[in-house]
Structures are given as C-alpha cells and as structure tokens.
Amino acid sequence: MNHDHYNDTWIREILNTVKTVAMIGASPQNVRPSYFVFKYLAERGYDMIPINPGQVGKSLIGKSFVASLREIDRPIDMIDIFRNADHIMPIIDDALTLNPLPKVIWMQLGVRNDEAAKKAEAAGIKVVMNRCPKIEYGRLSSEISWMGVNSRTLSSKRAPIPTQGMRLSLNRASVGGGGTDAADRAAKNKNDAV
C-alpha cells in the first residue's frame, strides 16, 4: 500500500463501512482536535468509544471513557489514533489481540509509523496514516464546501445545506445538522428570496 497517496474511493469505502470507532487519545477538553473529531463523527452516526486512561470515570458527549482497547465490550471496526508515532507499535500490538480484529487503523494528521502499518496490514487490517477522518468525511461528503473550502470533489450541483436527519453522500444521516453560522445564513437567505 502506498501511504503517500490514498484513492478517494478507498477512503470513502472505509468511512461508509465502519460503524464502531475507538478513539485512542480522546480528550474531554473542547479545544483539543480529538474532541472536535470525536463529536463530529458521533454526530454522523458512528458509535464512538473514547479511550484515555487519565479520563476513566468521566465521559465525552455522553460516552464513558475506557482505559484501553481490551476494556471494550464489542467489536471495533476502526481505531482512530491521536498519539505520537512512537506510541503506535504498542497500540498495534494491542489491536492484534482483539477478536475479531479491527478492520481499520487510522493515524491522525502528522502521525506515521511505516513499521507498525506493515505489521497491521500483514494481519489484514487497512491502515490510513497522516489523515483525519473528520476532514476526509467533510471533503468527500461535500460538507466542507459550505465553509468555503475547495473539497477537490467536483460536482455540477451545489451540495444541499445539511439538516437534521438528512442522508449525506457518505450514507450517514446528519444527527447534528448543519448548525454553523454560514449554513444558517445561507438557509435564511434562501428562504428570504422565496
């Protein structure tokens, strides 16, 4: 696998097929990137599990923290890792003890460990490195275009404003809706023009 470039179809397939996501390094602090990613994915219907041994006994948007992968009581489809590259190999070793094995190991932006990736791929696990599932989801579903960002996804039709329960292009219902100031202004301006 070439980890310098990922095909959009391959990333889209991952985001469409995973349901349960364990996030290692999740933070309850609402200024941390892991908090934003966790909340965003939970609002898109993913079953999110926060992992952080320093936060056990607390919860993140209603989901109780667990200390490790071994404490999760259900199969995990994807492990999203918010840890430095030197901490990846022990996480892969823990993941390989799970039954069933996770389908995907996803390392966040700035995190790459080729040796750990090879070990996971040898066990049949897909690996994504140096990418963010929140950014990829927003780009591939065209949600990100509402914020004025070029998603590199071409369409002859402008994406609709996300609303509560709307089916998005990645086959996920929007739980949180399009609650941004820009989306609210666009919807208001559209309604005022009618």
**Domains of the chain, with CATH numbers?**
8-134 (3.40.50.720)
pLDDT tens per residue across span 27-71 = 999 999 999 999 999 999 999 999 999 999 999 999 999 999 999
Amino acid making up residue 115: E
How would residue 178 be classed by pLDDT, with cut points 50, 70 and 90? very low
pLDDT value of position 1: 85
97-144: pLDDT as tens digits: 999 999 999 999 999 999 999 999 999 999 999 999 999 998 888 776
Collapse the DSSP code of 123 into the 3-class scheme (helix H, G, I; strand E, B; otherwise coil) and give the result. coil
Q: What percent of the chain has pLDDT over 70?
A: 74
Instruction: Look at residue 127 in the predicted model and tell me its pLDDT.
Output: 98
pTM of the model: 0.76
Query: pLDDT, tens digit, for every residue of 67-83?
Result: 999 999 999 999 999 99
CB neighbourhood size of 90 (10 A): 11
